[in-house]
A and B are shown apart, each in its own frame.
Chain A
Amino acid sequence: EAGVTQFPSHSVIEKGQTVTLRCDPISGHDNLYWYRRVMGKEIKFLLHFVKESKQDESGMPNNRFLAERTGGTYSTLKVQPAELEDSGVYFCASSQVNSNYGYTFGSGTRLTVV
């Protein structure tokens, strides 16, 4: 089966611009998660979708970040306007209804804001 796909793999944008990251989960996985790792810090939870609904968005840093999952398939994470501190690696993961089976992560999108 195909894994979790994220694109772009890298993005370099200027401060104040907008960037949209995309995640395609494993087909049939209702749970979709976004995490990010800012340079030198731990990987932190951003939010969790169950199908198209936001189950938990407690980790979203501020209202410059907007996540969507229209139709319960792929998800996008938009940063507008981007700031320097948004630089880092953004990971997406998906899991089945019973997440004890584990979470499958994508390769991440490395975002650099200059």
Chain B
Amino acid sequence: AQSVTQLDSHVSVSEGTPVLLRCNYSSSYSPSLFWYVQHPNKGLQLLLKYTSAATLVKGINGFEAEFKKSETSFHLTKPSAHMSDAAEYFCVVRSNAGNMLTFGGGTRLMVKP
């Protein structure tokens, strides 16, 4: 069984300040982990993925995430927020035993000018 917990349903930051979106997972197998973003009226876009290679993963638009097995975490960070980052972000786990994705509840990121 696998599950994902996004610890904050809403995060608000000022433009130019760092972003931290928290994600904890549980999985019976070595997981693959993803972060997806959904902008209003758009589809889910892949930001980055971890598939058992380097634990620090760099994604698009300056985002990165670090896989920490000891903490079962996969937090998403960005050094400096832009207004265009305002969206909903999903942490997702896929067990290597199958293809099914398990989504976290989502974190809505608001960026203030």
Contact = CB atoms under 8 A, between A and B. Distances in A.
A43 interface: yes
Interface in A41-66: 42-45, 48, 55-56, 59
B98 to A, nearest CB: 7
Interface string B40-59: 01111110010100000000
Nearest to B44: A105
Contacts of B28: none
Task: Classify the secondary structure of B's interface with A.
Answer: strand
Interface in B19-35: 32, 34
B101 A35 contact: yes
B44 A56 contact: no
A93 B49 CA distance: 16
A25 interface: no
Given A99-B94, A100-B32, A107 B43 contact: yes
Given A4-B43, A91-B43, A107-B42, A102 B34 contact: yes
Nearest to B43: A107
Interface of B: 32, 34, 36, 41-46, 49, 51, 90, 94, 98-106
